[in-house]
Chains A and B, each alone.
Chain A
Amino acid sequence: GAGVSQSPSNKVTEKGKDVELRCDPISGHTALYWYRQSLGQGLEFLIYFQGNSAPDKSGLPSDRFSAERTGGSVSTLTIQRTQQEDSAVYLCASSLGGGLSDSLFFGSGTQLSVL
């Protein structure tokens, strides 16, 4: 597609339920990032995928969070047993080669609300 696509755009769930957030990066981009933006906060790094390398999971806040990227393209972020503090905007970004001077292209995000 023309840009990074995320779905759903909004998700309301009950505490304790599992949720899956999807990211479709720009075609041909080998690097994919997940960030979390809480109200009034900056962007918190969650996880980074680059090509076929093992992902950098150092930002995942707990073992309830996991992510995978299938076929080097679409990525899914899964949050198990959601808690109210998981409420945030989850942003996905991709870049062409993953080089550290490469620009990130962001999706519009998924607004997650845990009741």
Chain B
Amino acid sequence: GNSVTQMEGPVTLSEEAFLTINCTYTATGYPSLFWYVQYPGEGLQLLLKATKADDKGSNKGFEATYRKETTSFHLEKGSVQVSDSAVYFCALSDRSASKIIFGSGTRLSIRP
């Protein structure tokens, strides 16, 4: 079946470091891909999305490119801030059914 695999955390970086959180997927057809973020004490919210191959989603300095050839949607940011500390979830829309499938989440901590 369809699935999402993302790198395990926790990931700890210093402020201004470069961030990559890996996400790969297995899906039939052409899913849409998402990154959701959960800040401490807050609910899950959409960070960015891409709906077709080679699309790049971007928001708040984060980017992810939908790579069909490698079935990946890695999240990147050039210079992280303490305020980026959160749990990040990669997700895909399952076009063969109705559900959105989430990865297990990656906890990111940024040191000042």
Q: Do A and B bind each other?
A: yes
Q: Please count how many residues in chain B sit with their CB below 8 Å of the partner chain's CB atoms.
A: 24
Query: 8 Å CB contacts to B: which residues of A44-93?
Result: 45, 48, 50, 56, 58-59, 91, 93
Main secondary structure of the interface of A (DSSP, over half): loop
Main secondary structure of the interface of B (DSSP, over half): loop
- Of the stretches A10-18, A22-30, A106-114, the one at the interface is A106-114
Query: 8 Å CB contacts to A: which residues of B72-112?
Result: 89, 93-95, 97-105
A106 and B43 in contact (CB under 8 A), knowing A42-B103, A42-B105, A43-B89? Answer: yes
A-B contact count (CB 8 A): 59
B102 touching A35, Cβ below 8 Å: yes
| Residues of the B chain whose Cβ atoms lie less than 8 Å from the Cβ of A33 | 99-100
A50 and B43 in contact (CB under 8 A), knowing A100-B93, A101-B32, A101-B93? Answer: no
Partner-A contacts on B (CB < 8 A): 31-32, 34, 36, 42-46, 49, 51, 89, 93-95, 97-105
Partner-B contacts on A (CB < 8 A): 4, 33, 35, 41-43, 45, 48, 50, 56, 58-59, 91, 93, 98, 100-101, 103-109
